[in-house]
Amino acid sequence: MKRDCPTIQELLAFDAVARHESVTLAAGALCITASAVSKQIAGLEAFLGGRELLQRNGRGVQLTPQGQVYWQKIAGGLRAIETATFEARSGDAGAGLLTLASVPTFLTKWLIPRLPAFSKKSRQVTLSFSRHLEHTEGIPVGVDAAIRYGTDSWPGVVSEYIAGREFVLIVARSLVEERHQISQPADILGHTLLHHEGAPTAWRQWASEHDIAENYTMSGPRFAQYSSLIQAAVNGLGIGLVPRILVQAELTEGVLLTPCGSPVSVDQGHYLCYRPDRVALPGFAAFRTWLLEQGAESRGAEPSRCPPAVR
C-alpha cells in the first residue's frame, strides 16, 4: 500500500538536524550514526520529490527556505506526539506534561517564584515552557495554554483573568535621593517617562486621574517588554508606570519606590488562555485552579469558583 506520509524516523532525523543545525549533533541526540541521519534525510527529500531541505553552512547545515517552511509545519505535531507519549507512559491519569507559552516578564518575575509551591502540591505534573506568542497568533499544536497580556480579546479560546490591571508609578531610590524630590504628581513633569508598547493609554489614564495635562506624559522611550522597562527604571533612566505584580520584589527591597500618586486600574492584564478541551486533563485542571487562586491572592481578591466560559 502506498504511503502518503514519511516515516517517523525520517521526520525525527530532519527535526533533530533542524534544531541542532548539525548532522553530527543530531546523530548524538538520536543515538544513531551521522551516516544514518544523512540516509534518513536523503530518504525524506526523495519522498518529497527530490526537494532539498538542507544546505551546507560552513561546518554545519541550515534549512533551505522550503525546509524551513516544512519544519515549521511538522514541528508542532512532533511535540504533540512527544507530549502524548509522555502522558501515556506515566501510567497515572492525573499525570502529564503541560506545555505553556507565557509573556516573558510575567513568567520570570511572577510565575516562576511561585512554581515550587505548585510542584510540591502537584508532583505528578511537569511544566514545560514554549516561546511566548504574538498577539495575533493562535495557540499552536503542542501548547496546552498561553499566558498572554492584553485586553481579553483572543477569539476562539477560554481566557481567564489572572492579575496585572493595577499600575503603579516606579522610580529608582537613587534618583529620588540624589537629585530630585518627587512627592506629588506634578513633580514628574520634566522627567523622562518610560512607556510600554502594550499599554499605550496607561500614562494618559494616570495623568487624567491626577489632574495633569495628557500632553506632558506622551513622550519618552518605548519598551517591548516590561523587564527592560523595569531595569531602565532601576538604573535611574526615568519614571515608569507598570503592573504592581511585576515589581513587588523591587518595591519590597526598596530598590524602586512609588513616590506619589495612587495606583490606576487599566483595562488590560495577564490572562490564561486555552482551548476548552484542556479542562478535561487532570493535570491542566490542577494547574488552572492553582494559577487563578494565586492571581486572586496577589490582587487581594477572593478566588473565583465559577466554571470557565468560552469566548
Look over the chain and give the mean of its residue pLDDT values, rounded to a whole number: 86
d(CA 250, CA 171): 10
Per-residue pLDDT for 311 more than 60? Answer: no
Our count of domains for the chain comes to: 3
Asked whether residue 304 is domain-assigned, the answer is: no
153 and 272, same domain (yes or no): yes
pLDDT category at 90 given cuts 50, 70, 90 is: low
Q: What is the mean pLDDT of residues 266-285?
A: 89
Per-residue pLDDT for 305 more than 50? Answer: no
The cell 489614564 sits on which residue? 205
Per-residue pLDDT for 103 more than 70? Answer: yes
Asked whether residue 278 is domain-assigned, the answer is: yes
Per-residue pLDDT for 54 more than 70? Answer: yes
Per-residue pLDDT for 309 more than 60? Answer: no
175 and 252, same domain (yes or no): yes
pTM of this structure? 0.69
Per-residue pLDDT for 264 more than 90? Answer: yes
How much is the pLDDT for 270? 95
Per-residue pLDDT for 64 more than 50? Answer: yes
pLDDT category at 179 given cuts 50, 70, 90 is: low
222 and 273, same domain (yes or no): no
How much is the pLDDT for 302? 39
How much is the pLDDT for 94? 46
Asked whether residue 277 is domain-assigned, the answer is: yes
159 and 13, same domain (yes or no): no
102 and 190, same domain (yes or no): no
For residue 63, what are the domain limits?
A: 8-85
CATH label of the domain that carries residue 261: 3.40.190.10
261 and 282, same domain (yes or no): no
The region of weakest confidence among 53-62, 112-121, 272-281 is 53-62
